[in-house]
């Protein structure tokens, strides 16, 4: 089923003349989001690791779509993407993510989940921010409520690795980043908004790694609770198009935020902690600037929180 250009039965506003970048748009929620925005008239750029796969998906769209290479596990790729960009971006949608994978390291030595889900998007957002005119939408998860950010060992170099905890931590980092970004945008006088979303329980390839009892449990849950990616994209589309305040958290409005029409929700208290926000921002800026590609520039990374 392909989602028409509407959210929960309400038509999307015309996106004609607007440019939207969607990371991880070659499958799942990202592809559904990009497809709906293109159908509503936007110029949509699919920022993907697998260009061939992204191109195949883009061919199924109605409207204007292009595909560009972006590997969030390699900061040199993030910087190349940003350096090659010309013109404005109305909306950046930080959608790409990985979930509960075995311990591994990105090109820059980061634990893969915090590296992909948070640090890659942190660098991308800061590098593109001078060109963003409307908003930054970052896909988090209700799993953020189980997050416990260890800012002394964010990269899991000393602790015994737990893939589920690392995932929850990365999703909390998405929300802490969004709230802190909004603080800094407001302090700088910018009208750009930062918004986070939880898509609900969505049937995507993020679950493909599961085996054994976990796979069986996901299969049972999936039959009862999981929605398809087109429905899962509703919260992202709402966050990208509705007139809502910066710093908002959008989630399905149904029971336990598992499904339902998009609505404003409250995140876990840690998401709004100013001390955690400043510390995570400072650490993220240091880690991403420490890559061999050089420091972040043209960003709000140095703006006081």
What's the CATH code of the domain at 95?
3.40.50.720
- Is residue 228 one of the residues assigned to a domain? yes
- Distances in Å between the Cα of 118 and the Cα atoms of 94, 171, 210, 290 are 9, 8, 22, 16
- Residue 149: closest CA among 126, 174, 127: 174
Structure tokens belonging to residue 53: 């796969």
- How many domains is the chain partitioned into structurally? 1
Helix 234-241 vs helix 28-39: crossing angle, to nearest 10:
50
Strands 10-11 and 193-197: unpaired
Answer yes or no: 272 catalytic.
no
Catalytic residue among 122, 167, 238, 281: 167
Q: What are phi and psi of 210, to 5 degrees?
A: -65, 140
Helices (H), 115-242: 121-128, 163-187, 212-224, 229-232, 234-241
- Is residue 305 one of the residues assigned to a domain? no
- Is residue 18 one of the residues assigned to a domain? yes
- d(CA 164, CA 162) in angstroms, rounded, equals 6
The predicted structure's pLDDT at residue 11: 83
- Is residue 293 one of the residues assigned to a domain? no
- d(CA 49, CA 179) in angstroms, rounded, equals 27
The predicted structure's pLDDT at residue 93: 98
- Distances in Å between the Cα of 156 and the Cα atoms of 71, 159, 162, 294 are 21, 6, 9, 23
pTM of the predicted model, to two decimals? 0.88
- Is residue 300 one of the residues assigned to a domain? no
The predicted structure's pLDDT at residue 230: 84
- Is residue 134 one of the residues assigned to a domain? yes
- Is residue 1 one of the residues assigned to a domain? no
The parent domain of residue 145 ranges over 6-288
Give me the residues of the chain with pLDDT under 50, please.
1-4, 206-207, 290-298, 304-305
Burial (CB count <10 Å: 0-12, 13-18, 19+), residue 114? buried
The predicted structure's pLDDT at residue 293: 44
Q: Cβ contacts of residue 267 below 8 Å, gap of 6+?
A: 140, 144, 145, 175, 179, 196, 249
Helix 121-128 vs helix 75-84: crossing angle, to nearest 10:
20
Report the helix count and the strand count for the chain, using DSSP H and E: 10, 10
Task: Bin 134: left if φ > 0, else alpha if -120 < ψ < 50, else beta.
Answer: alpha
Burial 64-92 (b: 16+ CB within 10 A, else e): ebebeebbbbbbebbbbbbeebeeebbbb
- Is residue 296 one of the residues assigned to a domain? no
Largest Cα–Cα distance in the chain? Answer: 52
């Amino acid at each position: 089923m392909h989602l028409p250009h509407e959210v929960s039965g309400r038509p999307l506003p015309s996106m004609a003349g607007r440019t939207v970048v969607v990371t991880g748009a070659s499958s799942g929620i990202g592809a559904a989001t990009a497809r709906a925005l293109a159908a509503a008239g936007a110029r949509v750029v699919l920022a993907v690791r697998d260009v061939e796969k992204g191109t195949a998906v883009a061919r199924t769209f109605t409207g204007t779509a292009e595909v560009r290479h972006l590997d969030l596990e390699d900061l040199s790729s993030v910087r190349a993407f940003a350096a090659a960009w010309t013109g404005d971006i109305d909306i950046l949608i930080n959608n790409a993510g990985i979930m509960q994978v075995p311990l591994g390291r990105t090109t820059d030595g980061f634990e893969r989940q915090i590296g992909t889900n948070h640090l890659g998007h942190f660098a991308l957002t800061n590098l593109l921010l001078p060109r963003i005119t409307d908003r930054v939408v970052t896909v988090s998860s209700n799993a953020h409520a189980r997050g416990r950010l260890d800012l002394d060992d964010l990269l899991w170099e000393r602790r015994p690795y737990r893939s589920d905890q690392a995932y929850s931590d990365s999703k909390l980092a998405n929300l802490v980043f969004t709230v802190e970004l909004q603080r800094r945008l407001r302090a700088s006088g910018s009208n750009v908004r930062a918004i986070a979303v939880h898509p609900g329980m969505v049937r995507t390839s993020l679950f493909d790694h599961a085996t054994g009892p976990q796979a069986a449990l996901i299969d049972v849950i999936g039959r009862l609770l999981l929605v398809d990616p087109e429905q899962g994209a509703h919260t992202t589309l709402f966050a990208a198009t509705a007139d809502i305040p910066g710093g908002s958290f959008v989630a399905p409005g149904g029971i336990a935020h598992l499904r339902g029409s998009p609505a404003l929700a409250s995140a876990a208290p840690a998401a709004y902690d100013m001390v955690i926000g400043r510390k995570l921002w400072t650490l993220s800026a240091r880690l991403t600037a420490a890559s061999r590609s050089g420091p972040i520039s043209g960003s709000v990374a140095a703006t006081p929180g």
